[in-house]
Amino acid sequence: MALISFLAFTILVAVISWLAVRKSDESTSDGYFLGGRSLTAGVIAGSLLLTNLSTEQIVGLNGSAYKDGLSVMAWETLAALSIVVTAIFLLPRYLKGGITTVPQFLAERFDTTTKTITSGLFLTGYVVVLLPVILYSGSVAISGMFDVPTLLGVSDTTALVICIWGIGIIGSIYAVFGGLKAVAVSDSINAVGLIIGGVMIPVFGLMAIGDGSVLEGLSTLVDANPERFDSTGEPGQEVPFATIFTGMMLVQLFYWGTNQQIIQRGLGAKSLAEGQKGLLLAAFLKILGPIILVLPGMIAYYYFEGGLDSSDLAYPELVRAVLPKPLMGFFAAVLFGAILSSFNSVLNSSVTLFGIDIYKQHINKEASESVVVKYGKIFGVCLALAAMFIAPLIANAGSLFSYLQEINGIYSIPIFTIIVVGYFTKRVPAIAAKIGIVSGSILYIISQFVMKPYFGEENYPHYLHVMAILFVTNIIIMLIIGKIAPRKEPFVLEYTKKVSIEPYKYVNQVGLVICLIVVGIYIYFAK
């Protein structure tokens, strides 16, 4: 029964995605990489949420909540603030310039070498960290839910490898051969399923501990461990309260405002107003994120009396314990959709970065748009294969969510720094960007992988504080270079007229309401 419902939902998504894209023109860069700049608010919001939401987050963040309680909700609630900032300040500039990739802006603002270095960093981060983590964590969940080792009569390791290759091949077909529109449409359908499936877990979990009543379960949970419902994290926890004002907001702004895999949905908007509405809708839904990503981990702590071997087991074990068996197939299909969504979104962004920023720029400048798309697809297949080979090697990575955030700092903060300086100054030269991005990466690597082990984790600043220190240091370095050797001509952002840049008329008011809700939640839960 579970297998039938799993296959039915998965095939339904594939058929609808195919029907949506069969008449699309995928031979041009805009058609393939940006869905023909035709994406509407609902599709953008659904795709943003699904690209962000995958098993490494569902399993990892609930694992963190099992360990530390409500304070880890910062990863979700502060995302809403950074999406608002992106909608009001960054998206208008992106769409005015008519860019397809974030590094493309850096080429216009600085030079081609800066763009190439940035694209290279993005691609390295995607293939070494992001794609393998998505494949690994997704395969652990699917293998566990369907008990694949018993089903196929193989060892746990073999089952894991089979799942990795299965997810990798299906995800590659969507991303490489369907373009952004196929990814975005499949995301939107899966978003509905994931919200329904995601809410089911805390509902059934609370009913399990509240004798069939959700409210009774919530009351039991709060009364048993009231100290775990504190929105302000303690030193030594994953998100100490002070980090909210330092590196946490920088990580969020990088992720939602400049990370190619995310912002590509906004770049594909049919107009600025539509893009802003999509982002604001995603921001509002993000506030509800802790119901799916934090509450189940806290229920698991009570349900299993804090006795699980690993915090990352909290979510899968709770699902197995409380979800009725007939619903298991639907939930596994939804989770499978979330895994595919994150995998194919990262892959589609990688194909875009390679095709436009590397192949067209450095390998074949005379290439027609159809040739760029063709070689982008070939690169996508190679990248997917590399990720499938690397994925089984990260079985001993420890806490997935923390590992992912810390490693991402190698490229996230340096890239975010040069984009901020690029937009808010007019005369800082290209050499400053190159020095900023290289020094930012090297200093972070030295800090986290040389100095921290030497001094010991307990005597060293939290990695989010380190990110903030390096962000400020890099900006100072770039501004000094800009003072000593400024550009001859000030940079002016040209309007390319690709889409209308008339803003959504209530963007500021809606943004303010979202920010006030987030602050209100923090104050309400602060102990």
Determine the residue type at 181. Answer: K
pLDDT in tens, 363-373: 888 888 788 87
Would you say 418 and 114 are in contact if contact means Cβ atoms under 8 Å apart?
Answer: yes
Q: Identify the DSSP state of 227.
A: G
Is position 125 within any domain? yes
Distance, in Å, from the CA atom of 72 to the CA atom of 353, rounded to the nearest integer, reads 32
* 318 or 395: which leads in pLDDT: 318
Q: How many residues does the chain have?
A: 527
* 58 or 18: which leads in pLDDT: 58
pLDDT of residue 33: 47
Distance, in Å, from the CA atom of 64 to the CA atom of 60, rounded to the nearest integer, reads 6
Strand ranges (DSSP E) for 116-214?
none
| Mean pLDDT (whole number) for 263-275 | 89
Range of the domain at 222: 2-12+27-396+502-525
Q: How confident is the model at residue 168 (pLDDT cuts 50, 70, 90)?
A: confident
Q: What is the CATH number of the domain that holds 132?
A: 1.20.1730.10
H or E stretch covering 419: helix 400-424
pLDDT of residue 51: 72
pLDDT of residue 26: 47
pLDDT of residue 512: 97
| Mean pLDDT (whole number) for 419-439 | 93
Distance, in Å, from the CA atom of 417 to the CA atom of 437, rounded to the nearest integer, reads 8
DSSP for 20-34, written as a single string = HHTTS--SSHHHHHS
Distance, in Å, from the CA atom of 262 to the CA atom of 284, rounded to the nearest integer, reads 16
pLDDT of residue 177: 61
* Dihedral sign for Cα atoms in the order 361, 366, 369, 372: negative
Is position 449 within any domain? no
Q: How confident is the model at residue 299 (pLDDT cuts 50, 70, 90)?
A: very high
Is position 331 within any domain? yes
Asked whether residue 30 carries a pLDDT value surpassing 70, the answer given is: no
pLDDT in tens, 116-144: 898 888 888 888 788 888 888 888 778 77
Asked whether residue 82 carries a pLDDT value surpassing 70, the answer given is: yes
Q: How confident is the model at residue 433 (pLDDT cuts 50, 70, 90)?
A: very high
pLDDT of residue 47: 78
Determine the residue type at 135. Answer: L
Helix (H, G, I), strand (E, B) or coil at 39: strand
Asked whether residue 381 carries a pLDDT value surpassing 70, the answer given is: yes
Asked whether residue 452 carries a pLDDT value surpassing 50, the answer given is: yes
303-336 b/e (C-beta count within 10 Å ≥ 16 → b): beeeebeebbbbbbbbbeebbeeebbbbbbbbbb
Is position 430 within any domain? no
Mean pLDDT, the chain, integer:
85
| Mean pLDDT (whole number) for 340-344 | 75
CB atoms inside a 10 Å sphere around CB 341: 32
Task: Specify whether the backbone of 494 is left (phi greater than 0), alpha (psi in -120 to 50) or beta.
Answer: beta
Is position 472 within any domain? no
pLDDT in tens, 36-55: 567 788 888 987 887 777 77
Task: Specify whether the backbone of 350 is left (phi greater than 0), alpha (psi in -120 to 50) or beta.
Answer: alpha
Is position 333 within any domain? yes
Would you say 332 and 91 are in contact if contact means Cβ atoms under 8 Å apart?
Answer: no
Is position 488 within any domain? no
CB atoms inside a 10 Å sphere around CB 149: 17
Would you say 422 and 114 are in contact if contact means Cβ atoms under 8 Å apart?
Answer: no
Is position 82 within any domain? yes
Q: How confident is the model at residue 338 (pLDDT cuts 50, 70, 90)?
A: confident
Asked whether residue 99 carries a pLDDT value surpassing 50, the answer given is: yes
| Mean pLDDT (whole number) for 72-100 | 92
Asked whether residue 188 carries a pLDDT value surpassing 90, the answer given is: no
Q: Give how many domains the chain has, as a whole number.
A: 1
**Tokens 């893009």 -> residue:** 275
DSSP for 473-498, written as a single string = HHHHHHHHHHHHS--SS--------S
